Amino acid sequence: MVGGSGEGSSGRPKPRKLHILYRGTAAIVRTTDLQTLARALFGELSSASLSERDDAIYLSAGALVGRDSAAIVPGYFVARLARLRRRAEISGLLLPGTTSVALDLASGRLLPLPELEVPPDALSQLTNARASHQPDQRAFIDHPVELGAILSLGPSAAPGLQPMPRALALYRWSSKVINLAKLEGRAVEGLGRFIEDLPCLQVGWQDPASWLGALGDELTSGADRTASVDVDYAPRGSGNTPEGR
- The pLDDT of residue 166: 96
- The pLDDT of residue 235: 36
Q: Strands, DSSP E only, in the chain?
A: 19-23, 26-31, 57-59, 61-65, 70-74, 101-103, 110-111, 147-153, 162-163, 200-203
CATH code: domain 19-224 is 3.90.228
- Beta bridge partners of residue 7, listed in sequence order: 13
Rounded CA gap, 59 and 98, in Å? Answer: 11
- The pLDDT of residue 156: 74
pLDDT tens profile 188-209:
999 999 999 999 999 988 888 8
Residue 223: which pLDDT band, with cuts at 50, 70 and 90? very low
Rounded CA gap, 99 and 42, in Å? Answer: 12
Report the range of poorest mean pLDDT among 26-35, 135-144, 193-202: 26-35
Q: What is the mean pLDDT of the chain?
A: 80
| Better-scored residue on pLDDT, 17 or 202 | 202
Question: Which residue ranges make up each domain of the chain?
Answer: 19-224
Whether the per-residue pLDDT at 68 is higher than 50: the answer is yes
Q: What percent of the chain has pLDDT over 70?
A: 75
Report the range of poorest mean pLDDT among 78-82, 157-161, 210-214: 157-161
CB 68 within 8 A of CB 148: yes
Residue 221: which pLDDT band, with cuts at 50, 70 and 90? low
| Better-scored residue on pLDDT, 3 or 185 | 185
Side-by-side strand order, sheet with 101-103 = 57-59, 101-103, 110-111
Q: Averaged over 153-176, what is the pLDDT?
A: 90
Residue 36: which pLDDT band, with cuts at 50, 70 and 90? confident
Residues 6+ apart with CB under 8 A from 237: 43, 46, 111, 112, 113, 114, 115, 140, 141, 142
Residue 138: which pLDDT band, with cuts at 50, 70 and 90? confident
